[in-house]
Structure 1
Amino acid sequence: MKNKEHEDKEMDQAEEQLVKESPEEQVSSENLGKEEVVSVEDKLTAEVAELKDKYLRLYSDFENFRKRTSKERLDLITTASEEVLRDLIPVVDDFERSLKVSGNHEENSKENEGNFLIYQKLMRILESKGLKPMEDLVGKPFDADTQEAITQIPAPTEDLSGKVIDVVEKGYTLGDKVVRFAKVVTGA
C-alpha cells in the first residue's frame, strides 16, 4: 500500500511540475506537435506526387504497348500472305514469258487469248491481295531501295546515264514493303 501511495505522490509531483512550466515552454511543445503534423503532411504530399508520377508513367507505357501491338497486328494481317505471294511470283514470271513467246506465233490464237485471260485473272487476284508490280522503271533514276542493278552498260544517250535502261525481272511490292526487288540494267 505504501508503494501505491508513493507512486501517486510522484505522479502528483510530475503534474505540478508540468503546470509550473512557463507558457513559452507549453507553446513550444504545441509547435512541436504542429511541426510533426506539417512534416507528416509533407511526406504524404510527396508520396502522393510520387505515386501519381508512377501511375502516369505506367499508363503511358501501357498506351505505347497497346499502340505498338495494334500496329504489329495490322502489319501482320496485311502481310500474312507475303510468303505465299512471294512463292507465286516465279509462276507469274513464267506465265509472262509464255505469253510473250506465244504472242509471236499467230497459231492457236484462241488458246493464246484464253491463256491471256487466265493471266489477267491471276494478276487481279494478286493485286486484290495487295501485290503490285513495279511499273515504268525504264528511263527513271536507279533506286537502290527498290531495285537491284545486275549490270551497267554504256548509256546510249547522256540522258540515260545513271538511269534504268532495261528491266530484266519485275519487282513487286506488298503495301509499302518490297517483296521482290526489280532486277535492272543501268546506264553508265
Structure 2
Amino acid sequence: MNPSNDNVNVSNDDNLEAEEVNSTDAGEGAASAQSAVSAELEQLRNEVQEHQQRFLRSQADFDNFRRRTQKEKEELGKYASAKLITELLPVVDNLDRALAAVKENAEAESFSKGVDMIFRQLEGILSAEGLTPMNSVGQPFNPEYHQAIMQVESDEYEEGIVVEEVQKGYLLKDKVLRPAMVKVSG
C-alpha cells in the first residue's frame, strides 16, 4: 500500500463530500434566490396594480372636473347678462311709470307713443336675453318669488294670496333675478 494513494483516496472522499455540501448549498441558495425573486415580482405586481388604481382614480377625477367646469361655463354663459339686466330694471320701472302717468293725460299722446315704443324695444331686448316678468297678483305668496311689504285685509282674496304688486318681479331664464314687492291678504 502506498501511503500516497491513501491520501489521494481520502482527499477524493473529502472532495466528494465537499461537492455534495456545495451542491446542497447551491440548491438551497437557488431556491432562496428564486423565493426572493418571486417575492420581489409579487411586490412589483402589487405596485403596478396600485399605480393603475391611482391612474384610474385620477382619470375619473379629471373627467368629473371637466364635466363640472363645462357645467359652470354653461351656467356662466346662461346668466352672463344678469348684472346688466339688474341695472336696467330700474329704467324699465321708470319707463313703465312714465307710461302710466302719461296715459292719464290725453294731451301728451304723441310723447306717450314715443316712450311706449322705447319701452317695447327695451322689453324686447331684455326678453330676448331671457327676462320674463312675474305674474304675482292672485297667486299664493311664495317667499322665493315675492317680497311682502304689507299685509292687507281683502274680501276678494283668501289669506296668503298676493293682492297687489307694488314692484314687478323678474325671472332670468329659470332663476329669480328680482323678487316682486307685493301686498298680501291677511
Global fold match (TM > 0.5): yes
Using structure 2 for the length normalisation, give the TM-score: 0.81
For the residues of structure 2 that align with 1:22 and 1:154, how far apart are their CA atoms?
A: 111
Partner of 1:162: 160
Distance 1:120 1:17 in 2: 113
Shift of 1:30: 3.4
Q: Which structure 1 residue ranges, 5 or more long, are not aligned?
A: 1-14
Q: Report how far residue 126 of structure 1 moved.
A: 0.8
In structure 1, the residue matched to 2:54 is 54
Counterpart for residue 137 of structure 1 = 136
Structure 1 residues 103 and 17 mapped into 2: Cα distance closer, same or farther (>3 Å)? farther
1:4 paired residue number: none
Match status 1:107 vs 2:107: yes
Provide the secondary structure at the position in 2 that maps to 1:148: strand
Instruction: Give, in angstroms, the shift of residue 31 of structure 1.
Output: 2.9
Aligned runs of 1:86-125 on 2, under 5 Å?
86-125=86-125
Q: What is the letter of the counterpart of residue 20 of structure 2?
A: K
Aligned to 2:71: 71
The superposition leaves residues 59-78 of structure 1 with CA deviations (integer Å, 9 ceiling, x where unpaired) of 12222222222222222222
C-alpha RMSD over aligned residues: 2.4
Asked if the contact 1:139–1:160 (Cα under 8 Å) also holds between the matched residues in 2, the reply is no
How far the C-alpha of 1:80 sits from its partner, in A, is: 2.3
Q: If the length of structure 1 is used for normalisation, what is the TM-score?
A: 0.80
Change (3 A) 1:63 1:77: same
| Distance (Å, rounded) in 2 between the aligned partners of 1:126 and 1:168 | 21
- Equivalent position of 1:5 in the other structure: none
Which structure's CA Rg is the greater one? 2
Query: For 2:151, what is the secondary structure of its paired residue?
Result: strand
Task: Please say if 1:186 is aligned against 2:152.
Answer: no
Q: Which amino acid is the alignment partner of residue 176 of structure 1?
A: D
The secondary structure found in structure 2 opposite 1:138 is coil
Structure 2 unaligned residues grouped into runs of 5+: 1-14
Q: How big is the shift at 1:150?
A: 0.8
Q: Give the whole-Å Cα distance in 1 for the aligned partners of 2:18 and 2:153.
A: 110
Cα drift, residue 26 of structure 1: 5.2
2:6 aligned partner: none
Deviation at 1:180, TM superposition (A): 1.2
One-letter identity of the residue aligned with 1:156: D
Look up the equivalent residue of 1:152 and give its one-letter code. Answer: Q
Q: Is the 8 A contact 1:165 1:187 kept in 2?
A: yes
Work out whether residues 141 and 164 of structure 1, in 8 Å CA contact, stay in contact via their aligned partners in 2.
yes
Call closer, same or farther: CA 1:122–1:22 in 2, change over 3 Å: same
The one-letter amino acid of 2:184's match is: T
Which amino acid in the other structure matches residue 160 of structure 1?
E
Deviation at 1:169, TM superposition (A): 0.5
Residues 79-118 of structure 1, C-alpha deviations (whole Å, 9 max, x = no match):
2222221111011001111111111222233332232122
